[in-house]
Amino acid sequence: MNSFEFVNPGFLYLLLIIPVLIVWYFLKNKKDTPSLTMPGMSDFMKENASILPKFRPVLYLLRLAGLSLLIVALARPRSVDVSSKTKKQEGIDIVMAVDISGSMLSKDLKPSRLEALKIVAQSFVMERPNDRFAIVAYSGESFTMCPITSDHKVVVNSIRDMKYGLLEDGTAIGMGLGTAVNRLKDSRAKSKIIILLTDGVNNSGMIDPLTASELAVENNIIVYTIGIGTKGMAPTPIGYDHNNNFIYRNLPVEIDEDLLKEIADKTNGRYFRATSNTKLKQVYKDIDKMQKTEIKELKFYNYSEEFRPLVLLAGLLLLIEFLLRNTVFRNFL
């Protein structure tokens, strides 16, 4: 970005004397110029008159132009080239641990809990370009779909690939949280975050959720927990029909909110409940606001002094005025 400025702008007020000098010059010359009329000499004067005296004001204008340029040069004009560079501070490492059990196919969120989560999670990742992400999927067991990486396209593709049936069914919250902690324990990031999402009650796995939360505390990891699902009844898959399509039935939504709150409290995190698509989006917006990577913008200023050409031009004009005054106009002054 280029701009222009004067280092000593106060000198520009001196330019106010220029129009005063112009007016003074013409009034003075009008007053001091004598008028002599001689009978019988008009024809002779017309034949021998020179047009040079008519151009005498040019000398004064050259002098004023030179003076004006010197005044502007005293104000020290310069152009400023401003460039900026974004410097990323030490960022945040985030692991999203997502429940992919059969109940995540429930249709209280549209088109289903899992698909709604995938849409929101992808946006969340793409809106945080300065952070690293990992994806852990869990149901009856858990595995890492994407290790910690700054390649957000890889992360987004891993989120898209999440689906029911990749793992044994069940809800092993402790396993999901434990795997997420394992992804972050060696991280040197300024902040380490786990976003743990589930729609059920821990009913399988070899790791107790509270034991996994203690591991998170030991490794300075903050855990945000999200319970997804409406309050009351929800269309939930209970089996397959003869065409291998899911059969749905309205069943009570059971989420162990006390456990999720305890995990969040232990790790200095927070528990959220997402009962609809809109509230799920808001949950991720809230987490986004609470965990920001600090960005510094460094500005570089390159100054280019512009007064030198003005001084040279002013000197040239004054030199021309001096030469003309002492040569061409010498006999008419």
The pLDDT value given to residue 30: 67
Element housing 113 (H / E): helix 113-126
Residues with Cβ within 8 Å of 153's Cβ and at least 6 positions away in sequence, in order, are none
The pLDDT value given to residue 45: 44
The pLDDT value given to residue 290: 84
In CATH, what number does 90-293 get? 3.40.50.410
The pLDDT value given to residue 254: 95
Give the CA radius of gyration of the chain. Answer: 41
> CA 102, CA 246: separation in Å to the nearest integer?
10
The pLDDT value given to residue 48: 47
The pLDDT value given to residue 172: 96
The pLDDT value given to residue 60: 84
Where exactly are the structural domains of the chain?
A: 2-27+50-82+302-332, 90-293
CB 159 within 8 Å of CB 124: no
CB 274 within 8 Å of CB 283: yes
The pLDDT value given to residue 126: 94
Q: Give phi and psi for 15, each to the nearest 5.
A: -65, -20
Residues facing 261 on adjacent strands: none
Mean pLDDT by 10 residues, the chain (333 residues): 79 90 80 53 49 76 90 89 62 94 96 97 93 96 95 96 94 97 91 96 94 96 97 93 91 96 97 96 93 62 84 90 83 63
The pLDDT value given to residue 101: 95
